Amino acid sequence: MKHALPLLTALVALTPSLALAHPHIFAEARLEVIADDEGNVQELRNVWRFDEMFSSSVLLDFDTNTDLKLDEKELAELGEVMRASLADFDYFTTLSVDGKPENVQKPDAIHVSFDQNQVMIFFAVKPEKTLPLKGKLTFGIYDPSMYTAIDFPTDEDLVAQGKTVAACKREVVRPDPDQIIAENNATLTEAFFNDPSGTDMTKLFATRLELTC
């Protein structure tokens, strides 16, 4: 695993002086929740576009032939590093049914492109077990360490697809950070802000898609 990319959250372990609870990597995201014809969640499709500074560090590390671009072999290597690195963080995926967390499988691959000086990745994760569209289902993407800020530019970047989704009520929730802090003042201690990965409180701040079926 290369110097600048023990990837995303894993960077914190190599740069403890930077491991304060605020983002150092930024990404714009799109999440598509795909349902099958039987009324089950089939997969969650992700597209993430990273900021130019982080993308530049990736280019420096993975441009092995030093031609200032990433060829297919270099992009494939980058994708495999990401696939291995993000496994420990469940691919930044939060998935729950009626408040109960559900696990996801490891993606078959993470596909990477390098366009206009920015890294983009594409991958899909599937629920670990059959997940019917019943009750209140919550989907989100966030980094539990708060080292990476993943933003959905518009509500339309969180979508649910499939004819069986039509029976569900869809809502995009964008929590107000000030309200979250006020409501959880006793829990959000200094220890949390120094090491938020030790708790699951960061999900309170994350934008999410809720389906009530």
Q: What is the DSSP string of 64-97?
A: TT-SSS--HHHHHHHHHHHHHHGGGGGGGEEEEE
Tokens 């078959």 map to which residue? 108
For range 74-81, the mean pLDDT: 94
Question: How many other C-beta atoms can be found within 10 angstroms of the C-beta atom of residue 106?
Answer: 15
Q: Which pLDDT belongs to residue 180? A: 72
Instruction: Assess if residue 204 is contained within a domain.
Output: yes
| DSSP bridge pairs for 148 | 25
Provide the whole-model pTM: 0.84
CB-based burial of residue 208 (10 Å sphere; 0-12 exposed, 13-18 middle, 19+ buried)? buried
Q: Is residue 19 part of a domain?
A: no
d(CA 17, CA 31): 32
Digit-coded pLDDT (tens) for 47-75: 999 999 999 989 988 999 999 999 999 99
Query: For residue 158, what are its two tokens?
Result: 């969180």
pLDDT at position 154: 97
Half-sphere exposure of residue 66, counting CA atoms within 13 Å on the CB side?
A: 0
Instruction: Evaluate whether residue 160 is within a structural domain.
Output: yes
- The total of structural domains in the chain comes to 1
Residue 138 in domain: yes
The residue-averaged pLDDT of 178-199 equals 62
> Region 87-108: what's the mean pLDDT?
94
Q: Give the per-residue pLDDT at 163.
A: 94
Cβ proximity of 195 and 189 under 8 Å: no
Range of the structural domain that residue 194 is part of = 8-14+25-212
Q: Cα(41)–Cα(164) distance, rounded to whole angstroms? A: 10
pLDDT of residue 145: 75
202 within domain boundaries: yes
Q: Per the domain annotation, does 2 fall within a domain?
A: no
Q: Residue 1 domain-assigned?
A: no
Instruction: Indicate whether 3 belongs to any domain.
Output: no
pLDDT tens for 148-160 read 889 999 999 999 9
